[in-house]
Amino acid sequence: MVFVGGPRQVGKTTLALHLLDQDAKHPAYLNWDIDRHRNRILNGDLPADDLLVFDEIHKYARWRGLLKGFYDEFVPSRSALVVGSASLDHYRKGGDSLQGRYHYYRLHPYSLREMSAVPNADDLQSLLRFGGFPEPLSKQNVNHWRRWNLERGARVLREDLRDLERVMEVSLLELLHASLLRRVASPLSLQALREDLQVSHDSVRRWLTIFDNLYFTFRISPYGAPTIRAVKKEQKLYFWDWSALPDEGARFENLVACQLLKYCHYRQDTEGYAMELRYVRDTDKREVDFVVLEDGAPKFAVECKLADTDCSPHLKYFRDRTSIPEFYQVHTRGKDYVLARGIRVLPFERFVVELELP
């Protein structure tokens, strides 16, 4: 079996139907949100097709047992594709274990290289303005993007929370969402969020975890290189959809974070490497935005700037004091040049091509 998780409206259902080479009326497509499909699942009335697609089935409390029974009875003569707008690895906890019975893949929004084989600055500006989700990116209409953004946020914060989590304070989660939009790219303070919302630390921590599990946000931890006085606990938070961020610099950094996370997930899901996306910051507030780790070892670090006129001195500082082999400073407009040994400044569209990021 194959599980595909990812944000709401990123294209999981479209991908699944493409594999069936049909539309949503194909009998092998079973969507838990459709009444007649749900009844077929509950009654065990499954089609005889070689490939079955289960969409949003994780909303069924006993979905693990159903899929375990399907696997034990039919695999390898038949197969199943399970898609959902939640972290299926998280929501499979408890009940019958599915360990060893599936492969898990994560479907991300469009990246720059998926827009064009040779992306340019205009492609990058479109991605920054409309985000990487297929519908608003393909239309590139501001009015449509605004409506789409409001509708998607309402569905995640209300429908998905209602179906998957026991959350009564939906209005407070909406306030948390608004507060987080202003905190992207900065170390996240649970104390500040608690004071804003006037709730407990445990509530804020639980709500952030819910956002992560619903593919609404993701967080990265600091890289604690032993040769620097690195911060240990403060995480940074980013959104899967960066287009709504009001600050241009934070929006670009969030886009880069999503691109690097996509690279990490791709290597992990398809090749089995233990990939991590982190950032590096010391107690004197020197920071580089991202560090990519492979099997625990740093591969490269990335700093984000809107232009190349302000080169960060922190790149040289951490180059001399850590084992990170390569540092890149990426920008939306400017030149391509080597700043110093092991440090290169270049446009983001060239960076993704040269490093062959997905």
* Residue 90 pLDDT: 63
DSSP string across 55-96:
ESGGGSTTHHHHHHHHHHHHTTTSEEEEEESS-HHHHT-SSS
User: Which tokens go with 25?
Assistant: 């009326």
Q: Which residues contact 35 (CB under 8 A, 6 or more apart)?
A: none
pTM, whole model, 2 decimals? Answer: 0.93
Q: Dmax over Cα atoms in the chain, in whole Å?
A: 66
CA–CA dist 143, 145 (Å, integer): 5
Q: Which of the 8 DSSP states describes residue 239?
A: E
Instruction: Give the model's confidence band at 184: pLDDT under 50 very low, under 70 low, under 90 confident, else very high.
Output: very high
With b meaning 16 or more CB within 10 Å and e meaning fewer, what string describes 157-187?
A: beebbeebbebeeeebbebbbeebeebbbeb
Task: Tell me how far apart the terminal alpha carbons of the chain are, to the nearest angstrom.
Answer: 24
Instruction: Give the model's confidence band at 96: pLDDT under 50 very low, under 70 low, under 90 confident, else very high.
Output: low
318 or 23: which carries more pLDDT confidence?
318
Per-residue pLDDT tens for 287-344? 999 999 999 999 999 999 999 888 899 999 999 999 999 999 999 999 999 999 999 9
CA–CA dist 55, 7 (Å, integer): 13
Task: Give the chain's mean pLDDT.
Answer: 91
Q: Is 208 in contact with 237 (CB distance < 8 Å)?
A: yes
Find how far residue 148's CA is from the centre of its chain.
19
Residue 313, amino acid: P
Block residue for tokens 């604690």? 224
At what angle are helices 170-181 and 190-197 packed, to 10 degrees?
A: 130
pLDDT-above-70 percentage for the chain = 96
> Would you tell me how many other CB atoms lie within 10 Å of the CB of residue 7?
24
Q: Which of the 8 DSSP states describes residue 224?
A: -
Residue 239, amino acid: F
Q: Is 300 in contact with 264 (CB distance < 8 Å)?
A: no
85 or 8: which carries more pLDDT confidence?
8
> Does residue 164 register a pLDDT over 70?
no
Q: Give the pLDDT mean for 166-176.
A: 80
User: What is the side-by-side strand order in the sheet with 79-84?
Assistant: 29-31, 51-55, 79-84, 2-5, 103-106
* Residue 58 pLDDT: 85
Find how far residue 114's CA is from the centre of its chain.
16
User: Before 76, cis peptide (omega within 30)?
Assistant: yes
* Residue 89 pLDDT: 67
What radius of gyration do the chain's Cα atoms show?
A: 21
Query: 294 — phi, psi (to 5°)?
Result: -125, 120
> Does residue 91 register a pLDDT over 60?
no
Q: What H or E segment, with its residue span, contains residue 338?
A: strand 337-340
Find how far residue 68's CA is from the centre of its chain.
27
